[in-house]
């Protein structure tokens, strides 16, 4: 562990630490909202260990709390996490040999770990920042979730603290960086329109799945441009 820290320069280590601290706060809001919404204390903690994918966890709980069925919540979470597949291939060289390391590396692969790793040209620094960020995020996220879950049993109304804004704020933060190109903006616009139009008529969770039709608009736009 110490050798990994020595590989990182001070600025890079500071950036990793700041991301981990921010992750802990988001994890705390996830745990608090989940429990205060009526779900059992063990659920957010189990999800944070086994799933460890913030966007998917937020989406899953949001759909369940709003009255959606389990199938829609699970499927939506899986679809949200498909973005991690290409990221895993992009940073797969840092996992090392052996199935245990590959499984652990795949589990701690997130948007942040991939971004830090892919920004490094030196193989040693690339590997070090991936593992330090991945392990740091996992630990901080789970500690935050644990504290938030038990705090949620005490907090009666999370809306009073503004924690109800965590779901849309986190999801919006994940979406905004992707809206730089035209096809993605078209897909998002069509998806939002479909979700808003169908929300009053179908069960919660289904509008999110129907919004995936927006991907067709993105593909059609690319063909026209080419």
Q: Which sign does the torsion angle of CA 40, 41, 47, 50 carry? A: negative
pLDDT digit string (tens) for 59-84?
888 888 888 788 888 888 888 788 78
Q: Rounded to an integer, what distance in angstroms lies between the CA atom of residue 221 and that of residue 150?
A: 48
* 9 and 56 in a common domain: yes
* 192 and 122 in a common domain: no
pTM of the model: 0.71
* 59 and 141 in a common domain: yes
- Cβ neighbours around 119 below 10 Å, total: 12
DSSP string, 25-86: HHHHHHHHHHHHTT--THHHHHHHHHT--HHHHHHHHHHHHTT--HHHHHHHHHHHHTTHHH
* 157 and 60 in a common domain: yes
The last residue of a domain, from among 178, 193, 218:
178
* 59 and 102 in a common domain: yes
Give residue 57's Cα distance to chain centre. 7
CA distances from 5 to 8, 137, 202, 206 (A): 5, 15, 51, 45
Q: How many domains would you assign to the chain? A: 2
* 107 and 17 in a common domain: yes
Q: Rounded to an integer, what distance in angstroms lies between the CA atom of residue 26 and that of residue 142?
A: 10
Backbone angles phi, psi at 172, to 5 degrees: -65, -40
* 36 and 142 in a common domain: yes
Give me the tens of pLDDT residue by residue for the chain, a chain 226 residues long. Answer: 455 556 677 888 888 888 888 888 888 888 988 888 888 999 999 999 999 988 888 888 888 888 878 888 888 888 878 878 888 888 888 898 889 989 999 999 988 888 888 888 888 888 888 999 999 999 999 999 999 888 766 655 555 555 555 555 655 665 666 677 777 788 888 888 888 888 888 766 677 677 777 767 666 554 444 4
Q: Rounded to an integer, what distance in angstroms lies between the CA atom of residue 198 and that of residue 169?
A: 22
Structural domain span for residue 216: 179-226
* 216 and 152 in a common domain: no
Place of tokens 């503004």: 162
Residue 163 corresponds to which tokens in the numbers above?
Answer: 């924690």
């Amino acid at each position: 562990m110490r050798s990994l820290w020595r590989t990182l320069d001070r600025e890079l280590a500071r950036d990793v630490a700041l991301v981990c601290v921010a992750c802990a706060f988001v994890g705390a809001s996830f745990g608090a909202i989940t429990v205060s919404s009526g779900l059992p204390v063990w659920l957010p903690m189990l999800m944070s260990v086994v799933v460890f994918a913030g966007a998917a966890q937020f989406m899953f709980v949001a759909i369940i709390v709003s009255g959606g069925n389990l199938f829609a919540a699970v499927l939506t979470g899986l679809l949200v996490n498909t973005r991690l597949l290409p990221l895993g291939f992009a940073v797969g060289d840092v996992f090392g040999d052996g199935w245990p390391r590959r499984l652990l590396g795949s589990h701690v692969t997130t948007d942040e770990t991939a971004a830090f790793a892919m920004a490094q040209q030196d193989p040693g620094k690339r590997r070090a920042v991936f593992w330090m960020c991945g392990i740091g995020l996992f630990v901080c996220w789970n500690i935050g979730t644990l504290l938030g879950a038990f705090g949620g049993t005490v907090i009666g109304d999370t809306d009073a603290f503004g924690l109800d804004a965590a779901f849309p704020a986190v999801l919006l933060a994940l979406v905004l960086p992707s809206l730089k190109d035209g096809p993605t903006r078209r897909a998002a616009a069509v998806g939002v329109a479909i979700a808003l139009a169908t929300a009053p008529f179908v069960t919660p969770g289904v509008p999110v799945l129907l919004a995936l039709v927006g991907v067709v608009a993105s593909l059609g736009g690319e063909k026209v441009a080419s």
